[in-house]
Chain A
């Protein structure tokens, strides 16, 4: 079963929930794989003592224009929907703008003169890590300065899915657009982590709208409860959205998080709370799969 941990607003505690949930699932005897899909800012693995086992480069298609063969007909320029080909026919100047190119290959298909050579550029990697108990962890990571997160997310989930595990936990990117949805569509159940504040509520609504549009089953964990107001509860009640659990605001929890430590390993109440959360999520999962 694949479970995504997501939120519209950043910093609501996705990574906190993913990492502590992983530890709890494992301690309850379920084989679990943690995959960090927040490829722009992957942080989940900071909470474990790990060694890198393998590393696969993720590449994206890039065209190379051969100036000797190019007749400056401009067909590739016409085909490019991303304005990624800089073309000045009067000066016989043509160039691919790497940062605008989406790697769709349309220019290469368009060219009738064999002037476009197919190549690729590295945009990030998918790495496998292992801890001292041989648990495997997977991380997708966007290369700094690159913009295409999606191929890395897809590739991280694909590679992780090749391994056999009872539960696959995916720590998603914040937001409600492409990176979030790419993780969500590949999961059986989504845990939305929300904050009981006006910003938190507004972003939760948008996440719910997105998940409804793709017909996914989900529940909400309210993190830092007691810090904000009650409007988020009213919203969840009015829309019959299940609350999986509430995690109280606590400086002690925040402190462990900031040190890169798992709260379930240090605070008894948090350990018990996460066991309850795990049992609820597993029960939900079993009823849908």
Chain B
């Protein structure tokens, strides 16, 4: 079974709760799809890590010796990625989407497409199984494509090692990385918090998620922070026919566990919050 943790709004506790699920699972493939800001490996540092370079895309470069400044590339580019600086045409690598149209159409063949390969893919064993995470090179585009690469490696390893369960820590937001994370997973757990921002982002992520799949669960983290908003979340989930599988109280021990490099389950197995997470785990994995 492949399960993804998502949130819409960032910082709701997605990674901490996902890590707790992983430590309950015992033998699992843990996948970090928040390739912008991967954190799972801090709790589950892998040994024998295999690092591979990932070509995250291509960027155009203009060879000035061949460029006749005809301006066709600038005219064709839909991404406003061609600038004129001191009379020279140059590609702004941040805006370049790698579509290669300028490369194909340049009449003097002055444009070359080069790989951007600073992104890294890591795989290794940790105390509860195997972990896979990606690190997109700073400022790189195409995180959606990178996430699908991370996920297909996870599926390969799952088959190879005979480990059935894959638990994914997803990215915040509802755009391209969210879509790549949710496509084809069996179940989604959306972690939210009782704030006005949390509620509107929850609604947006559920709306998008429901167009992909049925099996969606909600965890309300820090539910005691604002009981009124917690009630609004409950009403919303009831209306959308979504099961809330845990109400987790605010507990400083979750941060203490993180500082200690542990999940809350490992740090204090008998705490109220650990028990509640275990119950939620049973619902997701037994149904």
Contacts and interface: CB of A to CB of B under 8 A. Distances in A.
Interface string B10-30: 111001000000000000000
Contacts of A227: 252, 255
Given A106-B100, A174-B37, A258-B225, A46 B94 contact: no
A257 B195 contact: yes
A144 B255 CA distance: 33
A127 interface: no
Interface stretch (B120-128, B137-145, B160-168, B272-280): B137-145
A109 B173 contact: no
A178 B36 CA distance: 9
B71 interface: no
B76 interface: yes
Interface string A29-47: 0000000000111010010
A104 B173 contact: no
Interface in B212-263: 225-226, 229, 250, 252, 255, 258-259, 261
B97 A102 contact: yes
Contact of A41 (B58, B79, B172, B252): B172
Q: Which interface residue of B99, B193, B197, B204 has the most chain A CB atoms within 10 A?
A: B197
Contact of A10 (B10, B38, B105, B176): B10
A147 B179 contact: yes
Contacts of A257: 195, 197
Interface residues of B, number: 62
B78 A103 contact: yes
Contacts of A165: none
B100 A43 contact: no
A79 interface: yes
Contact of B104 (A106, A142, A149, A259): A106
B176 A148 contact: yes
A181 B12 contact: no
A95 B212 CA distance: 21
A214 B94 contact: yes
B198 to A, nearest CB: 8
Interface of B: 7-12, 15, 35-39, 42, 58, 76, 78-80, 94, 97-101, 104-105, 136, 138-141, 143-144, 171-176, 178-179, 193-198, 200-201, 204, 207-208, 211, 225-226, 229, 250, 252, 255, 258-259, 261
Interface of A: 8-12, 15, 39-41, 43, 46, 61, 79, 81-82, 99, 102-106, 109-110, 142, 144-149, 154, 173-182, 185, 195, 197-199, 202-203, 206, 209-210, 213-214, 227-229, 251, 254-255, 257-260
- Chain A to chain B: the 8 pairs with minimum beta-carbon distance, closest first: A11-B11, A10-B10, A104-B99, A175-B36, A258-B195, A40-B173, A210-B138, A260-B196
